[in-house]
Amino acid sequence: MEPSPISASLGAMGSLPRKLDELLATGHWALKGAVTDEIEQLAADLHTLHELLVKLLNAQDPPLAARYWMKEVRELSYDMVDCADQFVRADGRAKIRRAARRKTITRLKLSRLPERWRWRRWIADKVSEFRSRAQEATHRYWRYKLYDCASDPGNSGVGSPELPVVSLDTGDLVGIEGPVDELRRWLIDGEEELKVVSIFGVGGIGKTTLAQKLWGMLRGQFECRAFVRTARKPDMRGIIRSILSQVRQHQPPDPGEMPHLIRDLREYLRDKRYFIIIDDLWATSVWDVLSRAFPEGNCCSRIITTTETMEVAMACCGFCPKHIFKMESLSDDDSEKLLLQSSCLRGSTI
């Protein structure tokens, strides 16, 4: 795994969700089951923290409490990167040890069971610790009213990094120019009714990258906007609160239950032009709940969802196939172009 970029202002927050995705993609036995669900929830928590951190970075002369909070979040990101790297290094050493003693595998299978349990317990404890720290940091943001010193999103330009959009390198954009143009036409066609567009495709094909590109291009045209990411077992209350915190910048969400939060969000968005992106939807039941918070209206509001499941894409679009954009694999030419760019960025030759 290549090291993720780290900046002095964001720490490793911008790259952590991708790093977690890469860890899960390894399919390691210690990252399966309940641990997988917890890591996905942690990624969603980090998206929320990232958006709050970027808002404070745009503030003019933030107070001491805000500066301390930002330092705390950056330190959390560094600790998580260290933990992920420690896991990768330790797993590499374990593979070498297993290869060296493969001839005695039958006798060692049982003796390695305690080691496996320790590994899984260590990972689970670390993920739980990081989730607690991330959630506590989010709570402190609202408790200390740090949103009062965050920049006003209404004054931000389209290119300002106010919300959780991971920066895209040149390679990320290979092959999506056409899809970006097509979806952009879908979204700004002048239709007054709420339109939901779903980006459908297999994992890793570029759905999130495409959504992020559209977000950067279009968000400045909307009065209210929010970008959230879900998980296989999502924290529904946390998702609604995250959307509320983004569309209603200077009023923290009330600590109410789901029906109250949904009603609060729906009332706030009524008669407003809003743009919502919900990344990585896994179940129609999640959309059924979230959709109740979005009023129909006639203000040209738009929602983008991304999903790996056609059933979810159909549910999001009201079973209207023309509003589903199916991501295709890169063409041979684009694949070669991406390979060449990656090679140049690494300073190597093919």
- Highest averaged pLDDT of the listed ranges 37-51, 97-111, 169-183: 37-51
Residue 132 in this model has a pLDDT that exceeds 70: yes
CATH code 3.40.50.150 for 155-338: no
Q: How far apart are CA 8 and CA 53, in angstroms?
A: 12
- pLDDT tens across 112-121, in order? 556 666 777 8
Which residue is associated with the tokens 């203000």?
299
More confident: 290 or 105: 290
What pLDDT, on the 0 to 100 scale, is given for residue 340?
A: 54
> Which residue in the block uniquely carries the two structure tokens 């990258």?
209
Cα–Cα distance between 235 and 241 in angstroms, integer?
10
Are the C-beta atoms of residues 312 and 284 closer than 8 Å to each other? yes
Number of H helices, E strands in the chain: 12, 5
Neighbours of 72 (CB within 10 A): 13
What is the rounded distance in angstroms from the CA atom of residue 120 to the CA atom of residue 169?
34
How distant, in Å, are the alpha carbons of 93, 105, 191 from that of 97?
6, 11, 62
Q: How far apart are CA 196 and CA 323, in angstroms?
A: 7
Closest CA to 173 of 217, 131, 142, 107: 217
Residues making up the chain, counted from first to last: 350
The residue ranges of every structural domain in the chain are 16-149, 155-338
CA distance 235 to 202: 23
Alpha carbons within 13 angstroms on the beta-carbon side of residue 106 total: 0
Based on its alpha-carbon atoms, the radius of gyration of the chain, rounded to whole angstroms, reads 21
For the chain, give the percent of residues with pLDDT over 70: 72
- φ, ψ of residue 174 to 5 degrees: the values are -65, 125
Give the single-character DSSP code of 283.
-
Residue 307 class from Cβ within 10 Å (0-12 exposed, 13-18 middle, 19+ buried)?
buried
What are 175-182's contacts with CB under 8 Å, separation 24+? Answer: 175/206, 175/330, 175/331, 175/334, 175/337, 175/338, 176/206, 176/209, 176/210, 176/213, 179/210, 179/325, 179/327, 180/210, 180/213, 180/214, 180/217, 182/325
pLDDT tens track for 72-125: 999 998 998 888 888 777 655 554 444 545 544 444 444 455 666 677 788 888
pLDDT tens digits, residue range 12-24? 887 787 777 777 7
